[in-house]
């Protein structure tokens, strides 16, 4: 089925948001969302890495994995590529985009093990996207993840001085907020859904 790439792009930001509807990339989503500024940095880094790794994984999948029928190894191959690409991105940023490296540098190693990144590559394969669809799906998912963590961080900063019942402090309230945010995002699914 050919879905319009633009629809995929918007769907992956809102209706099929990686965190809020697929619950991927939760660990850094919960742990790095205490401060708005840091969350923003991580969001940008995830977007960059997601878009790049999706393209590279697409090429590798189409021209290496499929011809040699190594589909069952795609998990390990994708992970290796993600780890390698993150290393390279870090070096390139450090050399040529120093300002960006100062802002994103510390998050890059963290992203290597972010399951949302691997998730995007795997969804792309399962849903049989073409190149343009994959690229927009990767970019959109990244933006969606960024939107979600930035929104969560803004809420957490806002409630940081509020009094909470003892048992709800820290991660507990964060999970509840995430749940409410997910409910709110379901509202978008009336517009368009991709599966």
Partner 1 sequence: MDILYAIAGISAISTLLSAVIVLMEKYINNYGECTIVINDNERIIKIQGGGSLLTSLSQNDIYIPSACGGKATCGLCKVQVLEGGGIMLPTEEPYLDKGDRELNMRLSCQVKVKGDMKIVVPRELFSIRAFKTEVENIEDLTYDIKLFRLKLLEPGAIEFKAGQYIQVESKPYGKIKESAIRAYSMSSIPTEKDHVELIVRLVPGGVCTTFLHEHLKLGDTLNITGPYGEFYIREGADTLVFIAGGSGLAPIKSMILDLILKNTDKKMIFFFGARSKKDLFYYEFFRELEEKHGNFTYYPALSHPDEGDDWVGDRGLITDVVSKYVPDGINKQAYLCGSPGMLKACIEVLKKMGFSDDTIFYDEF
Residues that bind partner 1 (CB under 8 A): 38, 41, 60, 64-65, 68-70, 72-73, 76-77, 80-81, 84, 87-88, 91-92, 94-95, 98, 102, 105-106
Closest to 89 (Cα-Cα) out of 63, 70, 117, 65: 117
To partner 1, the closest distance from the beta carbon of 88 in angstroms equals 5
Q: Which is nearer to partner 1, 80 or 159 (CB)?
A: 80
CB nearer partner 1, residue 56 or residue 154: 56
- How far apart CA 17 and CA 138 sit, in angstroms, is 11
Nearer to partner 1, 5 or 105 (CB): 105
Nearest distance in Å: CB 68, partner 1: 6
CB closer to partner 1 out of 85 and 116: 85
- CB 178 within 8 Å of CB 20: yes
């Amino acid at each position: 089925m050919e879905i319009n790439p633009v629809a995929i792009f918007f769907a992956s930001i809102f209706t099929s948001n990686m965190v809020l509807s697929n619950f991927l990339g939760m660990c850094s989503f919960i742990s790095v969302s205490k401060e708005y500024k840091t969350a923003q940095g991580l969001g940008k880094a995830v977007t960059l890495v997601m878009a790049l790794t999706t393209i590279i994984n697409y090429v590798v999948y189409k021209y290496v994995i499929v011809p040699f029928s190594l589909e069952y190894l795609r998990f390990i191959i994708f992970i290796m590529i993600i780890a390698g690409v993150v290393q390279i991105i870090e070096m390139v940023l450090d050399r040529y985009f120093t300002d960006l490296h100062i802002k994103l540098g510390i998050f890059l190693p963290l992203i290597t093990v972010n399951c949302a990144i691997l998730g995007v590559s795997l969804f792309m394969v399962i849903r049989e996207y073409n190149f343009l669809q994959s690229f927009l799906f990767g970019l959109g998912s990244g933006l969606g993840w960024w939107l979600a963590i930035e929104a969560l961080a803004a809420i957490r900063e806002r409630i940081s001085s509020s009094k909470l019942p003892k048992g709800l402090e820290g991660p507990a309230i964060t999970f509840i907020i995430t749940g409410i945010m997910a409910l709110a995002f379901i509202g978008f699914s009336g517009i368009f859904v991709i599966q």
